[in-house]
Structure formats: structure tokens, C-alpha cells
């Protein structure tokens, strides 16, 4: 049982007729109990519950009627749930929204292969150079401030992390 979370975090959970909804193995009548367990203090029970939920409402990338009904609860857990449950709830939301296979897309379409390729091309040096170009062209002080702040989040060769391939080959690295 979740101590102190029933009122807001899982409000409405018992108002849904989960037995009429479906997951990979039939009726989703077991969903509320598993969801309560992901927020409990027992680590083994939490892990088992998350595994059960991933294997039922998101089985091999498929979504079910219970998947959509579960989203508000995962969103609340990701935002306000116990610290230990937040990352996995966010992971579940991401999987339900985007999936991990390139073969699956949302109705409006998402080209994950292209996204991955673009991300691979976006090296820290390229991103820093992009921001420098925008800064050179920007006259508005407020926008310049925002661009500078964003640019400063781009790790440059001078700020390489130790023991990474880029650090080992980095001539200007101070570490």
C-alpha cells in the first residue's frame, strides 16, 4: 500500500473498471494492485511490479486499452511520486509514447532512425559552433543571454570527461 499517496497520486485509480480494459494477457483487473506496488518501500516488490507492467500494458511495443488509461497515473508518479518510482514512470511514459523500435511509429509518424542519426551528428563541437553562430547574429540582449546559457551546456573539448574516447584524444583537455 502507498502511504500518503492515495488521495492525489492515485486519485481515480479505483474509479476505472480495469477488468473491462485489456492488456497483453487479457483483463487488466490486476493493474491497480501492480501500480500500487511500484510506489511501495519494498525494492523486490517494486521491481516485480514494474516488470509486470512493462510486460502487460507495453508487451513488445504493443499498447492496449489499459495502456491509455494508465498514462495519467504514470505521469503523476513521474512528477510527484516517490523518488525511487519517478525515473521508471517516466521511462514507461516514454515507451508508451514513442517505443523503442523503428518499425513502430505514432499515428502522425516519428522517424526515430533519422532522429538518432541527427543526434549522432550533433557533436558538442558542432553544437557549440551553432550557438556561436546564433550569438554572432543576435542583437537582443535577452536572447543573447539565453543563447549563452544554452551554449555553456555544450561540453567543449576543453571540458572533456576523463577516460572517454574524446578525452583521450583531446589536445586541449585539462584533465
What is the torsional sign of CA 115, 121, 125, 130?
negative
pTM of the entire predicted model: 0.55
The residue among 54, 40, 47 whose CA lies nearest residue 92 is: 54
Counting beta carbons within 10 angstroms of the beta carbon of residue 163, is it exposed (0 to 12), middle (13 to 18) or buried (19 or more)? exposed
Look at 171 and 92; give whichever has higher pLDDT: 92
What is the reported pLDDT for 101? 57
The residue among 108, 76, 110, 109 whose CA lies nearest residue 93 is: 76
8 near 76, Cβ under 8 Å? yes
What is the reported pLDDT for 167? 39
pLDDT-above-90 percentage for the chain: 15
Look at 174 and 104; give whichever has higher pLDDT: 104
pLDDT in tens, 141-162: 988 888 887 777 666 544 433 4
Look at 141 and 61; give whichever has higher pLDDT: 141
Least confident of 2-16, 59-73, 83-97, 122-136: 2-16
pLDDT in tens, 113-131: 776 677 677 777 777 788 8
- Rounded to whole angstroms, how far apart are CA atoms 164 and 175? 11
Task: Give the residues across from 26 on adjacent strands.
Answer: 23
Look at 117 and 17; give whichever has higher pLDDT: 17
Averaged pLDDT score across all residues of the chain: 76
What is the reported pLDDT for 118? 72
Least confident of 75-79, 105-109, 134-138: 105-109
- Rounded to whole angstroms, how far apart are CA atoms 55 and 97? 16
Amino acid at each position: 500500500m502507498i502511504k500518503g499517496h492515495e488521495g492525489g497520486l492515485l486519485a481515480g485509480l479505483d474509479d476505472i473498471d480495469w477488468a473491462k480494459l485489456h492488456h497483453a494477457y487479457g483483463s487488466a483487473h490486476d493493474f491497480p494492485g501492480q501500480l500500487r506496488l511500484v510506489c511501495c518501500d519494498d525494492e523486490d516488490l517494486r521491481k516485480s511490479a514494474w516488470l509486470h507492467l512493462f510486460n502487460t500494458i507495453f508487451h513488445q511495443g504493443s499498447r492496449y486499452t489499459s495502456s491509455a488509461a494508465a498514462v495519467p497515473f504514470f505521469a503523476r508518479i513521474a512528477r510527484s511520486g516517490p523518488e525511487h518510482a519517478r525515473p521508471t514512470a517516466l521511462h514507461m511514459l516514454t515507451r508508451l509514447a514513442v517505443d523503442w523500435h523503428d518499425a513502430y511509429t505514432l499515428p502522425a509518424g516519428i522517424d526515430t532512425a533519422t532522429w538518432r542519426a541527427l543526434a549522432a551528428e550533433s557533436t558538442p563541437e558542432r553544437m557549440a559552433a551553432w550557438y556561436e553562430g546564433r550569438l554572432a547574429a543576435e542583437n537582443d540582449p535577452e536572447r543573447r543571454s539565453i543563447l549563452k546559457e544554452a551554449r555553456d551546456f555544450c561540453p567543449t573539448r576543453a571540458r572533456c570527461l576523463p577516460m572517454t574516447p574524446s578525452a583521450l584524444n583531446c589536445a586541449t583537455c585539462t584533465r
